[in-house]
Chains A and B, each alone.
Chain A
């Protein structure tokens, strides 16, 4: 709760800071940005509404056990590859992603595989890409970004295997 409050304070503090800079540049600069930001907001709200209000249903039909199963007994690079796919397929917010990772870690999943899962989830979780990234960014950038990121969960797993951590 307090972490969320802190983030809100930081967030609105940053808005106030850049708003103040814009105000110093002139009133017109500030009103123009305010207008742009508000229109962006109005434009984005229906998409966010659809995604956020609908995401509970998607999470409800892809139960966590399915994903945990994918993170199951395979080890080695096959395990890393399944972990990456599982990360991309995980629905819902951060609680779901990290909880699955924690369950996998406790029930004997290898640390490099769980690491690859968490990183792949952070990079590719389909719901975040479709719901947040594509509405705000040019689609061409999003696909490019995702394609370029593919090697990195594997690289992270390789580093983890090499140093024997976490």
Chain B
């Protein structure tokens, strides 16, 4: 089939990326960076010195490590799945149909940060049905509440950087129903935001102590505290190990997310940062 118009049928190279300017990094920025690095790294260094390298090898063999770490991972998985299953459709719906409710949503989702975890867990333990009181997964439900502020903000930022209304309408006009539109159009384009929400939820669950302790389940942070009474250096090694494992996990998710996102012209995976899709930046370039 011949082209109808004579509009530049020849291959049109993609717009070349502008040469990157070298950013200057003034001395005061280095100073701030050094102070911040010292603030975070000195305690880590002190912990490493106190624990000693030997202790790291002993952590895994200690009683209760496997079950505690396993429970934390299971809770992280359940809490993340529940958080995304609840929050993604909700935030999408609010953006599409109830944009005026966004301010209220922002206020509501900040509540778990304002209300101390101890108040939440004590209240929930009083009213929770027996079937939930007998299982650690009550904690997963509570972690969903705790993760809500972070997940909401990540997803909200992702959706704001994406022309959701137009995409949904374009998808509808091409014959896609709601489930298809959500699965094939919306979710792939807020993948970065979903990864951010996942990262934050996993980090929160792996580090949460108060609720697990009061619900009397030995999650990894609870195990570390109990263990500290008997073997300080090994407990310290376990803490550092937990930190590094969580860090590694987050870096893997962030790197994978950013690579996948960049391939499609999306933004970096960044916590609480508006993820910019750069489609449209080439607008109006001569062809």
* A, B co-complexed: no
